[in-house]
Amino acid sequence: MPEQPADPVFYLTTPIYYVNDAPHIGHGYTTVMGDILARWHRQRGERVWYLTGTDEHGQKVLRKAEQNNTSPQDWVDRLVETEWKPMLQTLDIAHDDFIRTTEQRHLDGSQAFWKDLYERDAVYKGGFSGWYSVGAEEFVGDDDVRDGEGDDDGFTVSVLDGSRVERVTEENYFFRLSDYQQRLLDLYEEHPEFIQPESARNEIVSFVSRGLRDLSISRSTFDWGIEVPWDPEHVMYVWIEALLNYVTAIGYGTDAERFEDTWPAVHLVGKDIARFHAVIWPAMLMAAGQPVPHRVFAHGWLLVGGQKMSKSKANGIRPDELVSEFGSDAYRYYFARALTFGSDGSISYEDMHARYHADLANGLGNLASRVAAMIGKYAGGQLPAVDSVTPAEQAIIDLAATAVADADDAIDALAPHEALASLWRIVDALNGYLADQAPWQVAKEDMKRTGTILATAAEGLRVLAIVLAPIMPKATEILWHSLGADIALGPLADQRIADAARWNQLPMGATVTKPASLFPRIEA
Ligand code: MSP
């Protein structure tokens, strides 16, 4: 019998982060949103590969190391170990791989990709003279610079992001980007989902419609980078090398079978770097004869006090500052719920504090502890039987099924904020159901009916534990155990989204215990 082809891999990536400094919550944002998506797909039972990592070459990192009187290799080694990898722990990220661009596999894969480009005549050598922004690691066109003012007086700055630019005149290799205008426009036309959301798509389409120039892709005035395989006088331009991480991490040039099995990817990026991912990257892949990514999704800025958060503005909050106070689950919940993925959004301590108490401590946490406490009090801690289902129970059963299906669709649309809004309808409905049914009153005269109400609430919590696991892995694990579900139904990780809302899964008599407070109150 012919072998069944394996299901395709859901391959998801974050940008790889510059290690010129420690991470702030802007970096944490992409990483958490990606983790929520990856965990949801795993909870569906899909094959998932979630990649993140660090971008370690280039002048920005080199200069930072020099300012700190150390070698770039020492600098990146130290920062990756003391800051970037710990951030993943802090945020409870279940990544499958972490790539550093200083690793041998990335060097080998990048050189293999360059050789492929060279053999296919996609690169040529030429003279370059123009502006370069080290802050953005970007070549800036003559029309996109102006004279600096204030602190930048006497310097030339980029109009794109205000960073200072320097005049660069050197011999470079060029990539024939101009050959790809029509093929890119066709790609955006035929696959409208390729670059999302609509705002990013419009910007990219209009940018490419204006015409593309060949792109300088090597540097020859410093050596902190990967050598061009046939010309060691040059190192690869850091962006070109960085984009390659998405393929070198899965075996490009080193493990063809693995590469074929995993590629293409869905890329999550900030909107500032959408152009690199939606214009240059697919063109490079086309030139190398490889499939383009499934999707590039550009999210917006985290704004703090109305301004884009960044290290240089000193409004760069570290993820651990918030996690130490609210915990990783609440952090993940807040960023996924309070912001529309794909748009800019303001965050504040006050808002996070308020949502923590309203949604988590009073909403979900209180629900879980009340239900378990009542099962303890009225049923000796054993899940009661459902006697007869009235319209009130049926309404909960139906709502749970719809809410889970809606959330599942929202995840496919890369809208975790909508998924959470859907799932919270279950939390709100269960709280309303308990208030209406008042089992503490019913218990005075009708234990069968009390049992039905508590068993229904417990089933609702079981559904919530499964579908909220990708967002809040720690609290849902506690909830799962408190419902006795691990013993009755097996590990939480083995529960499938598709079956989550199937009713009456917790068996009568399951041992229900009061969970440790899921979201304890926090003083402001
Ligand atoms: N190294 C490049 C990416 C190479 S990917 C092949 C880079 N690194 S970065 O560290 O400067 O930024 C990476 C990403 O961090 C941004 O695209 C974005 O995802 C995220 N953010 C940085 N600041 C942010 C905010 N204030 N708000 C939201 N996300 C932000 O660019």
Residue type, 62: L
Nearest atom within ligand 1 for CA of residue 277: 6
Which of 12, 16, 17, 60 maximizes ligand 1 atoms within 8 Å of its Cβ, making it the mutation to test the pocket?
A: 17
| Residue 352 half-sphere exposure toward CB, CA atoms < 13 A | 24
Nearest atom within ligand 1 for CA of residue 243: 6
| Residue 149 half-sphere exposure toward CB, CA atoms < 13 A | 2
Average pLDDT of span 393-411: 98
Residues at CB less than 6 angstroms from ligand 1: 15-18, 26-27, 29-30, 55, 242-243, 245, 269-270, 272-273, 301-302, 308-310
pLDDT, residue 306, reads: 82
pLDDT, residue 320, reads: 95
pLDDT, residue 3, reads: 67
User: Which pLDDT band holds residue 523 (cuts at 50, 70, 90)?
Assistant: confident
* Closest among 457, 465, 449, 462 to 432, alpha carbons compared: 457
pLDDT tens digits, 217-276: 999 999 999 999 999 999 999 999 999 999 999 999 999 999 999 999 999 999 999 999
Residue carrying structure tokens 């794109």: 160
pLDDT, residue 272, reads: 94
d(C-alpha 24, C-alpha 83), whole Å: 10
Query: Would you say residue 446 has pLDDT above 80?
Result: yes
Average pLDDT over the chain reads 96
Which of 20, 55, 271 maximizes ligand 1 atoms within 8 Å of its Cβ, making it the mutation to test the pocket?
A: 55
C-alpha distances in angstroms, 510 versus 96, 379, 477, 506?
35, 11, 16, 7
- State in Å: Cα 470 to ligand 1 middle: 23
CA-nearest residue for atom 8, ligand 1, is 17
pLDDT tens digits, 480-507: 999 999 999 999 999 999 999 999 999 9
CA-nearest residue for atom 10, ligand 1, is 17
d(C-alpha 260, C-alpha 264), whole Å: 8
pLDDT, residue 310, reads: 73
d(C-alpha 281, C-alpha 175), whole Å: 11
Are 489 and 511 contacting, i.e. CB atoms less than 8 angstroms apart? Answer: no
- State in Å: Cα 219 to ligand 1 middle: 22
Query: Would you say residue 5 has pLDDT above 80?
Result: no
Provide the token pair at 29: 């944002």
Query: Would you say residue 315 has pLDDT above 90?
Result: no
CA-nearest residue for atom 22, ligand 1, is 26
CA-nearest residue for atom 16, ligand 1, is 270
d(C-alpha 54, C-alpha 56), whole Å: 6
Query: Would you say residue 361 has pLDDT above 60?
Result: yes
CA-nearest residue for atom 7, ligand 1, is 17
- State in Å: Cα 28 to ligand 1 middle: 10
- What is the pTM for the complete model shown? 0.96
d(C-alpha 498, C-alpha 43), whole Å: 9
User: Measured on CA atoms in the order 147, 151, 153, 155, is the torsion positive or negative?
Assistant: negative
| Residue 54 half-sphere exposure toward CB, CA atoms < 13 A | 26
- State in Å: Cα 275 to ligand 1 middle: 13
d(C-alpha 481, C-alpha 465), whole Å: 10
pLDDT, residue 1, reads: 56
Provide the token pair at 158: 């980029």
- State in Å: Cα 25 to ligand 1 middle: 10
User: Which pLDDT band holds residue 282 (cuts at 50, 70, 90)?
Assistant: very high
pLDDT, residue 96, reads: 98
Average pLDDT of span 89-103: 98
- State in Å: Cα 270 to ligand 1 middle: 6
Which of 12, 14, 18 maximizes ligand 1 atoms within 8 Å of its Cβ, making it the mutation to test the pocket?
A: 18
- State in Å: Cα 409 to ligand 1 middle: 27
Average pLDDT of span 4-11: 87
Residue type, 136: A
| Dihedrals phi, psi of 435, to nearest 5 degrees | -60, -45
For residue 98, the SS3 value is: strand
- State in Å: Cα 77 to ligand 1 middle: 20
Query: Would you say residue 2 has pLDDT above 70?
Result: no
Query: Would you say residue 6 has pLDDT above 90?
Result: no
Largest CA distance in the chain: 90
pLDDT, residue 524, reads: 73
CA-nearest residue for atom 26, ligand 1, is 309
Q: How many CB atoms lie within 10 A of CB 237?
A: 24
- State in Å: Cα 17 to ligand 1 middle: 6
C-alpha distances in angstroms, 378 versus 390, 396, 431, 442, 449?
20, 22, 19, 11, 11
CA-nearest residue for atom 12, ligand 1, is 17
What length does the chain have?
524
Query: Would you say residue 4 has pLDDT above 80?
Result: no
pLDDT, residue 309, reads: 75
CA-nearest residue for atom 15, ligand 1, is 27
Average pLDDT of span 420-441: 98
d(C-alpha 322, C-alpha 326), whole Å: 6
pLDDT tens digits, 180-215: 999 999 999 999 999 999 999 999 999 999 999 999
Query: Would you say residue 434 has pLDDT above 90?
Result: yes
* Closest among 76, 77, 85 to 31, alpha carbons compared: 85
d(C-alpha 371, C-alpha 396), whole Å: 15
Nearest atom within ligand 1 for CA of residue 300: 28
pLDDT, residue 456, reads: 98
Q: Please give the residue that has the higher pLDDT: either 315 or 347.
A: 347
Are 217 and 231 contacting, i.e. CB atoms less than 8 angstroms apart? Answer: no
Residue carrying structure tokens 């159901």: 433
d(C-alpha 469, C-alpha 36), whole Å: 9
- State in Å: Cα 27 to ligand 1 middle: 6
CA-nearest residue for atom 21, ligand 1, is 26
Which of 21, 27, 84 maximizes ligand 1 atoms within 8 Å of its Cβ, making it the mutation to test the pocket?
A: 27
- State in Å: Cα 94 to ligand 1 middle: 20
d(C-alpha 43, C-alpha 418), whole Å: 18
Average pLDDT of span 51-58: 98
